[in-house]
Copies of this chain bind each other. A is one copy, B any other.
Amino acid sequence: MAKTKRIEGILSPVVTPFGKDYAPDAQRFVRHCRWLLKNGCAGLAVFGTNSEANSMSVAEKRKLLEALLAGGVPASALMPGTGHCALSDSIEMTKAAVELGCAGVLMLPPFYYKGVSDEGLFRNFAAVIERVGDERLQLYLYHIPPVSQVAITFGLIERLLSKYPGIVAGVKDSSGDWNNTKGMLDNFAKGGFDVFAGSEEFLLANMRGGGKGCITATGNVNPGAINELYKNWRSGEADKMQAAITATRKLVQKQPMIPALKATIAHFGNDPQWKTCRPPLVELNSSQEEQLIRDLKGNGFTMPGLAG
């Protein structure tokens, strides 16, 4: 079976809207995904850390994925998160994503047990790949030790690439450590392993090093400017563009990131229900929210067309 073309460019780990009862809101979700694809995102890494994905069940995520496709979002733009602490959940979600035709999946290591061995992590990814058993699978590893507390080491990448070439497609590096991203580029990028920076702060450096783009939280609110740098990274303006998008990011991350993204969408989309987070996360308090909006407006920030 033919593989779909790999996604390159800017991907947003799409925030998930919830109702007052904490139920996922498929309608708002589809609307925001469509806005992102119109405004600079090449792809959507739905069900990432910023999506509160680990606060949702497999069944809830499958439903949202089906709603996206029914709502006209192309599967070729989708790289859903499918890694869970339970092997069986990872298999079920990955299988669903592949069967729906998603371009790839972004997979966390199992993250409950700490200090686990590379052998154990290898067996986890190998079991998922073999149980899914589908040549279309494009698996991106998700390295985010500050949250997962379980790392994807270079040794593990090497072993997976060697056993499953053509399936293991790349990585999102959210370590926040440029030296680690650089090491991934230097060791693996030439072999067709696509490295995405986990923040637009490293977008220019990642492109210069042979990477393929970034998958970034603030892609939820600032995709246009981030994509401009992606398209023009070889231009003389690139460093200036990098400084501008980094400055915007820093304004957002003065507040807790996920509720800040939601408050930004709520404000610029004129839709307060967006502020709700599912426990254990909580929305910004009013002074955090005022500070955020004041900072963004002071910087000339807009989200064109969002309020529709």
Contact = CB atoms under 8 A, between A and B. Distances in A.
B279 A121 contact: yes
Interface residues of A, number: 40
A281 B116 contact: yes
Interface of A: 22, 49, 54-60, 85-89, 92, 109-114, 116-117, 119-121, 123-124, 127, 146-150, 277-282
Contacts of A150: 280
A109 B279 CA distance: 10
A146 to B, nearest CB: 8
A113 B54 CA distance: 8
Contacts of A113: 54-55, 147, 280-281
Given A54-B113, A112-B54, A279 B88 contact: no
A130 B121 CA distance: 37
Copies of this subunit? 2
A88 B57 contact: yes
A147 B112 CA distance: 7
Contacts of A54: 85-86, 110, 112-113
A85 B55 contact: yes
Contact of A92 (B57, B89, B124, B280): B57
B85 A121 contact: no
Given A22-B127, A114-B147, A147-B114, A280 B57 contact: no
